[in-house]
Structure 1
Amino acid sequence: MGQTLTEKILDDHLVEGELTPGEEIGIEIDQVLTQDTTGTMVWLQFEAMGLDEVQTEIAAQYCDHQTYQFDFKNTDDHRFLRSAAGTYGAYFSRPGNGICHNVHRENFAAPGKTMLGSDSHTPTPGGLGELAIGAGGIDVTVAMGGAPYYIEMPEVHSVRLEGELPEWATAKDVILELLRRLSVKGGVGKVLEYTGPGVETLSAPERMTITNMGTELGATSSIFPTDERTREYLEKVDREEEFVELQPDDDAEYADEIVVDLSDLEPLIAEPSMPDNVVPVREVAGQDVDQVMVGSCTNGAFADILPAAKMLEGREVNMTTEMIVAPGSKQASEMLARQGWVAEMMAAGVNFSEATCGACIGIGHVPASDSVSLRTFNRNFEGRSGIEDDNVYLCSPEVATAAAIKGEIVDPRDLADELGDLEDPGFELPEEYTGSKTDLITPDEAPDDELVKGPNIGDVPIKDALEADIDGPAILKMGDNITTDHIIPATQDILMYRSNIDKLSEFTLSRVDDTFADRAAAADGGWLVAGENYGQGSSREHAAMCPMYLGIEGVLAQSFARIHRANLFNFGLVPLLIDEDTYEQIEQGDDIAVVDDVHEGVASGKEEFTIRVNDDWEATATLDASERERAMLAAGGKLAWTKQQAEGGSGAAPADD
């Protein structure tokens, strides 16, 4: 039997286990990336483990989330990150240089490589044939130190593309169509591998829009084969020598196949407040639009912004609508500027932002109250834009620009008919990607050789080893699809404390219950209870670290999102699965005790644990964990376990290996 492309790359990097879906495997990691809101903990954990030097082929530290540097805390984080990159041997991308995924694909992403990143949209380079996976920061730390990355072997599903996109349909509509069909849970435990004759009709940047937003399906990763379109892109970024042709075998077997006929697609839009709430644009046409944003790591490249610029040529943004362009990289801004498009867009009434994640996480360009915002971003979770009661829609740059011209949601095909002289701008790559590399500092150029820590940078919290008894109240009961934005918000007033866990923990789950942190700290232990898909969204490990710091000992949920589940193990919180009946019966405030010896059960491989609620009734809770995950949990988390393994001569590789 032949291999899928995913299996070929994994097989080439396999150091432990077998490529059987559901089995744990260990793989060698070629590249790692981290960004400024997760990177501080990555490097503090690197220091805490006693590691001396990066062991991966490429390690890159980006500053892209809090680039506006509202006060010294943000700036101190960036100074610390530059010093860490210099001290340990990583590339450093200065604030304002661009979003990690965009800058990384321009400079480092390559076919056949593996990458681990402490950001959930790390799979973006899958459009270039790189198998890239988002993970918690400590997983990146350990991989950067030279150890394998362990993950449950995902199922590989084929997304067969047929036909060719018609006018006004875009790559964004491809991934919106998949979200419409599969939902935000549809990709959990899977790698989506794109196949079929429609693949060759899409350029590499279009493919990377799709792989970027595949994260919203819950997928472990998304990947395209490589071909002449891949080579074309690598030539344009002056890295043709890194091209490798990668295709699945003709007799490769997939767990399932999803067929998308590109010819049938039309402009789509995700309504508030979930990326899978997708409908045709024409179904919501006529809705007044107050704000339009084009950009982000999903649609912020030069070729994503150019269609908007072409549509606005000779036109103006509607007086009732504000339009902002948020480029994915400074390179995109520089190229647009040198070709005159920045001036054209400014003349049309467009405001240009710095190249940053900012608005996507609620930092800057926060919508007005009771307003509608159309964005080309990848997430529209309620409150993520920076205002709790928001109305954010997700769409392509073409749909967004049409709304900016009209002042209301409109299918661009209908606007073209109305105006008479508006043509589909198409998707056009530049002759070459040019631009300064000044803001990307190589390890050899690094000006720092020791860590610089400001007063806001704290220590890494370490949990004690797992105890035999867990007994405490259900401090908070939540519903389905609780995101990491709910657990630890990423707004400007909170984000600045990502390197100060003592302070950051005060905001834990404040968007669900603003009394939670005080109640958890006073309870001396307890549980979180949740429905399905708990912890979806961002990779931020703080969403596990802060509850642990407040004394939470475990989470009872109907299901967990992949990255957050891993983070719970990484920080010593017991993730137990419960069925719907048990979830419905548990009330907030109930006392929940595990009847069994928890430490012994976890260490010995026990799967089913009995929980007793209020001494009134009992239910079964399941621990689905590998032997390695159990060992980490028993030790109190990955940091404690890795240090034990290193001291004992096994586990994470010492820095001099």
Structure 2
Amino acid sequence: MTKTDPFNARDTFDTGNGTAGIYRISRLEDAGLGAVSKLPYSIRILLEAVLRGCDGFSVTEQDVKNLAAWNASAPAAEEIPFKPSRVVLQDFTGVPAVVDLAAMRSAMGRLGGDPKRINPLIPVDLVIDHSVQVDYFGSSQSLQQNVDMEFQRNGERYEFLRWGQQAFDNFRVVPPNVGIVHQVNLEYLANVVWLREDEHGPIALPDTLVGTDSHTTMINGLGVLGWGVGGIEAEASMLGQPLYMLMPEVIGMELTGELPPGATATDLVLRVTEVLRAEGVVGKFVEYFGEGMQAMTLADRATLANMAPEYGATMGFFPVDAETLNYLRRTGRPEPQVQLVERYCKEQGLWRNDADQCQYTKRLSLDLSTVEPALAGPKRPQDRVRLADMKADFNKSLTAPVGAKGFGLDATQLNKTATVNDNGKSSEITHGSVVIAAITSCTNTSNPSVMLGAGLLAKRAVEAGLTVKPFVKTSLAPGSRVVTDYLDKAGVSESLDALGFQTVGYGCTTCIGNSGPLPEPVSAAIVEADLVASSVLSGNRNFEGRVNPHTKANYLASPPLVVAFALAGTTDIDMATEPLGTGKDGQPVFLKDIWPSTEEVRQVIDEAVQPEMFTRQYAQAVTGNERWNAIDVSGGDIYEWSESSTYIQEPPFLSSVTADVPDIQPIRGARVLALLNDSVTTDHISPAGAIAKDGPAGRFLQEHGVGPKEFNSFGSRRGNDRVMVRGTFANIRIRNQIAPGTEGGVTRFLPAGETMSIYDASMKYQQEGTPLIVIAGAEYGTGSSRDWAAKGTLLLGVKAVIATSYERIHRSNLVGMGVLPLQMVEGNDWQSLGLSGEETYDIQGLSNDLQPRSTVTVKATADDGKVTEFECLVRIDTPVEMVYYRNEGILPTVLRSLAKE
């Protein structure tokens, strides 16, 4: 649709390399529509997108006026249509997105339309980074062995993605073994400002995106607006549909001072996560400002932006400034591009200037000089533990009641030990023994200060004669190949190798559950004594059951501290007063003896990190993987689905879509499939990590000729709904209160009360025609943007979820799959209402007249006839989301629209 430019905003400016168009948001202030020059920078970028996209149809003049008049103290409850300039996918979430696109082509053919109309309309990059697993570690062969295993396990998936690469326009794949999607995005894909073409010629526009990983926010450190969405939302953006969101509150986070010696960017982000999680910023933008930013490198900013999902915000945004330009030059971006960024941002009012005094919904402040070395755990990233308190905090957690900070051991269990027997050597382990030490994840591996800090600490440890404890599984998974280049140039790679931190892969590993199996003697010892074994990882996620099924305590820490805890071999240690080990001179070696100074790290960064490293590595990023290039590609415009494939199947979401929109159906006589407490994460809901051989998914694979050694992970099989639905709500740590005393994906089939797997019960309920609901507590759906947490919920027959509160992405994904999210009102929760989950439920008021954010009455009838009624808010937040719900999801909505055209 042709843009109307009703505000006469289109103009031109000098890029330094020619003239280009610009949609000046200042014209809106000139017209008296709002104090645009006082808006937060993140809102200004949203405003530019709405202004430039105004066509009187999908984006209206009123949309522009609403956003220009954004009120900091109380943003209007208006929806914003946002069309990003690109989409970024990682392969775990990207494969099902491409599967859905392929399914839409098949469905379009069945509806009599042109399958080739299903095509990304904006640039889409998919980075294969989530499929590598740490099967091998501790040797120079580990990298190649893990890559070999990766290609062996994922042949079907990679063939499918190669088909998509040739079948779809605007779709590019970065092959395996290049790096983590967020680091590749930061170092290579992002332009900060784009030059595109519209009907009037060249046009400059801010680089904006959505990604199918919640840590897409890492790009906010570069001044790029972007956040994580579910795969189904990303698909809608790819297909030209606006992404609708309520006008956000923006929290201004002022940074003052400078990090003290000994504190790292990781310590800073753990502190900020603690502060902002306590403040409550779910669904809000956080925008950083203040003189403290002057001393922050862009890598430090990216580290802080990365963990926005952990502190609950939609984004953690850093506006463009001189450091942005420095980073673009340091990472090898061409000088004309750097000039474009500077000139455009200054012309558009997007260049950071703290004197502007942006209007924020609320201002917070943090003095960087107060940041201390810390970890976070043992089960959540917001539970910061000062390094000085680590020993006491860990021991307290052992006996604390089972929950976010406790394991519930009694006195008789505290002194348990076990012996690890391996190749004639034996080691004793106990509670707190570190069995995984992993330098991993996008949070830190993009940051030279902590990576080189870890290398320098390793070098001093080796020089002192320290070694890693034999029961520790060590790994180093750099976020890009550039990291290896600068570790080599700094002369620290050999020391990391000597301590067992050989490179195991270039991708996201331990943080997403791809830690691989522990050595059998270690896992056997843990199981034998039922130990609370520990992992220490430089990641951003440490939820229960995520890292490894044998590590109950999981701590986030900076890369240097990961090395230190590997040396110590335990989290039951006070590193200020207890040594890491004994040196070659027979004397104790303490952390302070080998910790590198801030100045030393800075000097090594200046010497070792060079722009040519980035240009050399990324010049071959897309085309340089010969093994990827050799994969045979078959198929045409419509994918040839194979019934025998255990990786890729046509999903059932679109198999019965008709041209007409169905009526909203009432929910009557529903049973509760799961009754859950607070803080249930998408890791608890969505299939993730290893596939248990005795679970429904494992049994299914074995019935189809796949042995346990070939199971791979749930993430790698996201393209097969038959596997994924069997792993939904099957996390080993989930506790379904309908089956008290159990742990894992267990429920009771009602009214008989028979205990069985959630999947098996779901199938029985569906055979009877019984609708299902899930009832949960606060912060339901915390965690990664897992679309399968919503897809699996739908395929289990769940029609509605009733929760005390939701995290942003999962609520949106439920709507996107046609599942009704309801939120209890008036401070109610299922406990205060006296619900047992054994009742039958009627949700009253569901019809075609249903309105966004209206209220409905839920009637729960117990076996003895007792009726409990309570009100719920319909968490369909916008009219467009109501259209999605009416159509039974985003994909049927888009498909029907394109078919009619």
TM-score w.r.t. the length of structure 2 is 0.68
Which of 641, 650, 653 lines up with 2:893 in the alignment? Answer: 641
Match of 2:835 in 1: 586
**Distance in structure 2 (CA, Å) of the matches to 1:467 and 1:52:** 27
Which of 83, 86, 93 lines up with 2:166 in the alignment? Answer: 86
Deviation at 1:578, TM superposition (A): 1.0
Match of 1:619 in 2: 870
Aligned-partner residue type, residue 293 of structure 1: A
Q: Does 1:569 align with 2:815?
A: yes
Task: Give CA-to-partner distance per residue, 1:597-648, whole Å, 9 cap, x none.
Answer: x13242x557111111116121111113211111110111111112223344
**Distance in structure 2 (CA, Å) of the matches to 1:487 and 1:124:** 25
Match of 2:667 in 1: 470
Q: Per the alignment, do residues 85 and 340 of structure 1 end up closer, same or farther by CA in structure 2, a change over 3 Å counting?
A: farther
Q: Unaligned 5+ residue runs, structure 1? A: 650-657
Moved more, 366-375 or 27-36: 366-375
1:495-574 equivalent positions in 2, closer than 5 A: 495-511=715-731, 512=734, 513-514=745-746, 515-524=757-766, 525-574=771-820
Task: Give CA-to-partner distance per residue, 1:400-440, whole Å, 9 cap, x none.
Answer: 23323444456777779766464325353513243433342
Deviation at 1:322, TM superposition (A): 4.3
Q: Does 1:110 align with 2:175?
A: no
**Distance in structure 2 (CA, Å) of the matches to 1:86 and 1:107:** 22
Task: Give the conservation status (yes or no) of the 8 Å contact 2:535–2:551.
Answer: no
**Distance in structure 1 (CA, Å) of the matches to 2:229 and 2:514:** 23
Match of 1:488 in 2: 686
Q: Per the alignment, do residues 76 and 492 of structure 1 end up closer, same or farther by CA in structure 2, a change over 3 Å counting?
A: farther
**Distance in structure 2 (CA, Å) of the matches to 1:383 and 1:187:** 26
**Distance in structure 2 (CA, Å) of the matches to 1:453 and 1:289:** 45
Q: Unaligned 5+ residue runs, structure 2? A: 1-34, 54-58, 106-114, 134-148, 193-205, 346-350, 393-431, 580-588, 692-713, 735-744, 747-756
1:155-234 equivalent positions in 2, closer than 5 A: 155-183=249-277, 186-234=280-328
Q: Does 1:350 align with 2:501?
A: yes
1:203-352 equivalent positions in 2, closer than 5 A: 203-239=297-333, 240=335, 241-242=337-338, 243-244=341-342, 245=345, 246-247=351-352, 250-285=356-391, 288-301=433-446, 303=448, 304-316=450-462, 317-320=467-470, 321-337=472-488, 339-352=490-503
**Distance in structure 2 (CA, Å) of the matches to 1:611 and 1:421:** 61
The 3-state SS of whatever aligns with 1:351 is coil
Aligned-partner residue type, residue 299 of structure 1: N
Match of 1:54 in 2: 120
**Distance in structure 2 (CA, Å) of the matches to 1:85 and 1:642:** 22
Q: Per the alignment, do residues 97 and 365 of structure 1 end up closer, same or farther by CA in structure 2, a change over 3 Å counting?
A: same
Q: Per the alignment, do residues 103 and 439 of structure 1 end up closer, same or farther by CA in structure 2, a change over 3 Å counting?
A: same
The 3-state SS of whatever aligns with 1:158 is strand
Task: Give CA-to-partner distance per residue, 1:576-600, whole Å, 9 cap, x none.
Answer: 111453522222232111122x132
Aligned-partner residue type, residue 10 of structure 1: L
Task: Give CA-to-partner distance per residue, 1:127-182, whole Å, 9 cap, x none.
Answer: 00001110011211121222322122221111100000011112212221122223
Moved more, 608-617 or 201-210: 608-617
Aligned-partner residue type, residue 521 of structure 1: M
Match of 1:43 in 2: 98
**Distance in structure 2 (CA, Å) of the matches to 1:606 and 1:421:** 57
Aligned-partner residue type, residue 215 of structure 2: H
Task: Give the conservation status (yes or no) of the 8 Å contact 2:236–2:890.
Answer: no
Q: Per the alignment, do residues 225 and 277 of structure 1 end up closer, same or farther by CA in structure 2, a change over 3 Å counting?
A: same
Task: Give CA-to-partner distance per residue, 1:202-249, whole Å, 9 cap, x none.
Answer: 111111111111211121111112222211110011214243342267
**Distance in structure 1 (CA, Å) of the matches to 2:558 and 2:542:** 14
**Distance in structure 1 (CA, Å) of the matches to 2:591 and 2:562:** 17
Aligned length in residues:
644
Task: Give the conservation status (yes or no) of the 8 Å contact 1:476–1:589.
Answer: no
Deviation at 1:327, TM superposition (A): 0.9
Which of 855, 860, 872 lines up with 1:608 in the alignment? Answer: 855
Which of 545, 549, 565 lines up with 1:387 in the alignment? Answer: 549
Match of 1:440 in 2: 622
Task: Give the conservation status (yes or no) of the 8 Å contact 2:299–2:447.
Answer: no
RMSD: 2.6
Task: Give the conservation status (yes or no) of the 8 Å contact 2:461–2:594.
Answer: no
**Distance in structure 2 (CA, Å) of the matches to 1:413 and 1:214:** 31
Q: Per the alignment, do residues 406 and 73 of structure 1 end up closer, same or farther by CA in structure 2, a change over 3 Å counting?
A: closer
Deviation at 1:4, TM superposition (A): 0.8
Moved more, 181-190 or 383-392: 181-190
Moved more, 85-94 or 117-126: 85-94
Task: Give the conservation status (yes or no) of the 8 Å contact 2:99–2:648.
Answer: no
Task: Give the conservation status (yes or no) of the 8 Å contact 1:184–1:218.
Answer: no
TM-score w.r.t. the length of structure 1 is 0.92
Deviation at 1:362, TM superposition (A): 1.7
Match of 1:652 in 2: none
Question: What percent of counterpart residues are identical?
Answer: 27
Task: Give CA-to-partner distance per residue, 1:560-589, whole Å, 9 cap, x none.
Answer: 110101100100000011145352222223
The 3-state SS of whatever aligns with 1:309 is helix
Task: Give the conservation status (yes or no) of the 8 Å contact 1:36–1:78.
Answer: no
**Distance in structure 1 (CA, Å) of the matches to 2:43 and 2:361:** 12
Moved more, 63-72 or 250-259: 63-72
Task: Give the conservation status (yes or no) of the 8 Å contact 1:64–1:100.
Answer: yes
Q: Per the alignment, do residues 621 and 33 of structure 1 end up closer, same or farther by CA in structure 2, a change over 3 Å counting?
A: same
Moved more, 539-548 or 299-308: 299-308
Deviation at 1:26, TM superposition (A): 0.8
Q: Per the alignment, do residues 52 and 516 of structure 1 end up closer, same or farther by CA in structure 2, a change over 3 Å counting?
A: closer
Deviation at 1:274, TM superposition (A): 0.6
Q: Does 1:431 align with 2:581?
A: no
Task: Give CA-to-partner distance per residue, 1:461-514, whole Å, 9 cap, x none.
Answer: 327746431021112100111111111231143333211112210111012323
**Distance in structure 2 (CA, Å) of the matches to 1:227 and 1:617:** 57
Q: Per the alignment, do residues 571 and 349 of structure 1 end up closer, same or farther by CA in structure 2, a change over 3 Å counting?
A: closer
The 3-state SS of whatever aligns with 2:216 is coil
**Distance in structure 2 (CA, Å) of the matches to 1:358 and 1:59:** 23
Q: Per the alignment, do residues 122 and 606 of structure 1 end up closer, same or farther by CA in structure 2, a change over 3 Å counting?
A: closer
Task: Give the conservation status (yes or no) of the 8 Å contact 1:92–1:441.
Answer: no
Task: Give CA-to-partner distance per residue, 1:260-316, whole Å, 9 cap, x none.
Answer: 100111101112101111121100148653432112111113613211111111423
Deviation at 1:452, TM superposition (A): 7.0
Match of 2:416 in 1: none
Deviation at 1:186, TM superposition (A): 2.5
Task: Give the conservation status (yes or no) of the 8 Å contact 2:389–2:574.
Answer: no
Moved more, 621-630 or 248-257: 248-257
Moved more, 460-469 or 406-415: 406-415
Task: Give CA-to-partner distance per residue, 1:29-64, whole Å, 9 cap, x none.
Answer: 1121111111122112223164454322x3211111
**Distance in structure 2 (CA, Å) of the matches to 1:124 and 1:302:** 12
**Which structure's CA Rg is the greater one?**
2
Match of 2:677 in 1: 479
**Distance in structure 1 (CA, Å) of the matches to 2:648 and 2:317:** 37
The 3-state SS of whatever aligns with 1:581 is coil
**Distance in structure 2 (CA, Å) of the matches to 1:374 and 1:351:** 16
Task: Give the conservation status (yes or no) of the 8 Å contact 2:510–2:537.
Answer: no
The 3-state SS of whatever aligns with 1:146 is coil
**Distance in structure 1 (CA, Å) of the matches to 2:517 and 2:366:** 35
